[in-house]
Amino acid sequence: MASPILPGSGLGSGLDIGAIVTALVNADKSAKQTQIDSATKTNTLKISGVGSLKSALTAFQTAMTNLSSKTSPAFAGFTATSGNTDILSATSDSTAVAGKYNVVVNKLATGSKIASASFAGGAASAIPSGTLKISQNGTDYNVDIPANATLQTTRDAINKAQGANGISANIVTDSSGSSRLVISSSKTGAGSDLTVSGIAGLEIDGTQPMGASPAAGASGAVSGIAQNAELTIDGLTVTSKSNTVSGAISGLTLNLTTVTPTNGAPTVVSVDANTKGLQTSIQTFVDAYNALKTTVDTLSKATPDEDGKLTVQAAFTGDSLPRSLIADIREQLTAVGAGGPLAVLSQLGVMTDRNTGNLTFDTAAFNKTMDQPGMTGQVQQLFTGTDDNNGLLARMKAAVDPYLKAPAGSKVTAGLLDQRLTILNNNTRNLTNQQLALDLRVANLTKTLTAKYNAMDLLVGQMKATASNITSFFSSLNAQQSAK
């Protein structure tokens, strides 16, 4: 019975069949495997590079957004300060001008808070079903009250139905156990009083004060009716429905906190040139640009290996995309701004380093420019523009947008980087399929060659056995002839 011949040293031929098959398979596989490995390494590097560039661009866009904030303007030419922040605080916008203002707060704006008549049964008191109508400023807010309702469930129904409209309700219970439904509004100013009707026992006229010690059956406004804020600015009377007073002083918003004490000194609001703040904001702008430029350089520049012999390619080495990105951004740096005597960054001491391409900021040159009258407003105009599109910050954001998102109204659904990432991910799937196909080919080739060499080894073994038999026969025949 013949023994099975396994890969390894052939029993018949004495050859290392396993080594022969491995060498032949590797020779067939090598070129394709090298191609796949090289393409996979390059593709993976590019995917990582796209991710790094997207992160850098997102950080840059965030910096531009923060610098162009309208609520906390970083490039405000003037900044407002309050002489007494316990009374009020002040902020300026892009239209502010230098000046000082004496402000006295006589009244704060208040909202409407009303209370129902007293319910002896407390929060569990029964409330008739129907539609509760809460009216304010000519608008009715309806709340459906179901059967078997209580004061507690009525409160809950009001909060659920009208919370989004700034109307809320709660229950106040006194020492005797009697409860009142208290309804308040976040809206302030005269005329914003609440009135309630539609449900027996819950009729409330918010235009009438309840008084300091209301009777059990009394209802109405708690702590007085809603009122406007009243203040004087340099002796001129101003009223406001809100404690945030905008427009009374051009370019300023006053946030009222409390009333000026009787015989108290006015709060001085000062509006001064924001030279120091502008310098800080320009440095932030320069740092944001340089951080992006450094990332792009790192992702584009090939570097030598540890031995200094081979060149190691970066993710975007030889790729036109990062060069186009930097060119688009730099175009905005050198473009003339929104008009005025201050047109380009170089006038503020912001220059380009000829060796690195990064921006530098000469604060001495900046301060020299700021010594000229009206320059703080010009800096503001250069960076924020005269509309939402022509300022440097808006133009920088617009230059970067196509790389992060699809243009408005276009047929494409992704930005340039996401389009590139889609291609790279498709490459990854294609390379994976190529590897699977190669692995299958290697497995089949190994199986085929092993079977052929084992068959050859068996045949050689049989031929050796036949040769040995023939040799033995002739040796025996010769021995018999010699014996005669």
- Structure confidence by residue, pLDDT tens digits, 179-204: 999 999 999 999 999 999 999 999 99
Q: How far is Cα 233 from Cα 101, in angstroms, rounded to an integer?
A: 6
Instruction: Map tokens 């004061």 to a residue.
Output: 151
Q: Are residues 291 and 377 in the same domain?
A: yes
Q: Are residues 421 and 293 in the same domain?
A: yes
Q: What percent of the chain has pLDDT over 70?
A: 95
Strand runs labelled E in 198-300? 204-205, 220-221, 229-233, 236-240, 244-246, 252-256, 267-273
Q: How far is CA 420 from CA 5, 316, 464, in A?
A: 54, 12, 65
pLDDT tens digits, residue range 44-55?
989 998 999 999
Q: Are residues 242 and 205 in the same domain?
A: no
Q: Span 97-125, mean pLDDT?
A: 95
pLDDT at 3: 35
Q: Are residues 137 and 14 in the same domain?
A: no
Q: Span 11-20, mean pLDDT?
A: 70
Identify whether 406 is part of a domain: yes
Domain count, the chain: 3
Q: Are residues 336 and 443 in the same domain?
A: yes
pLDDT tens digits, residue range 396-444?
999 999 999 887 777 777 889 999 999 999 999 999 999 999 999 989 9
Identify whether 483 is part of a domain: no
Q: Are residues 62 and 119 in the same domain?
A: no
Q: Are residues 235 and 206 in the same domain?
A: no
Q: Among 51-55, 147-151, 336-340, 346-350, whose mean pLDDT is lowest?
A: 336-340
Identify whether 467 is part of a domain: no
The range of the structural domain enclosing residue 255 comes to 78-108+228-273
pLDDT exceeds 70 at position 321: yes
Q: Are residues 264 and 314 in the same domain?
A: no
Give the sign of the dihedral formed by CA 322, CA 324, CA 325, CA 330.
Answer: positive
Q: How far is Cα 240 from Cα 229, in angstroms, rounded to an integer?
A: 5
Identify whether 471 is part of a domain: no
Identify whether 432 is part of a domain: yes
In contact, 382 and 281? CB cutoff 8 Å: no
pLDDT exceeds 50 at position 8: no
pLDDT exceeds 90 at position 124: yes
pLDDT exceeds 50 at position 220: yes
Helix extents (H) in 189-319: 275-300
pLDDT at 5: 38
Q: Are residues 90 and 63 in the same domain?
A: no
Q: Are residues 431 and 355 in the same domain?
A: yes
Q: Are residues 138 and 259 in the same domain?
A: no
Q: Which has the higher per-residue pLDDT, 233 or 250?
A: 233
Q: Are residues 398 and 423 in the same domain?
A: yes
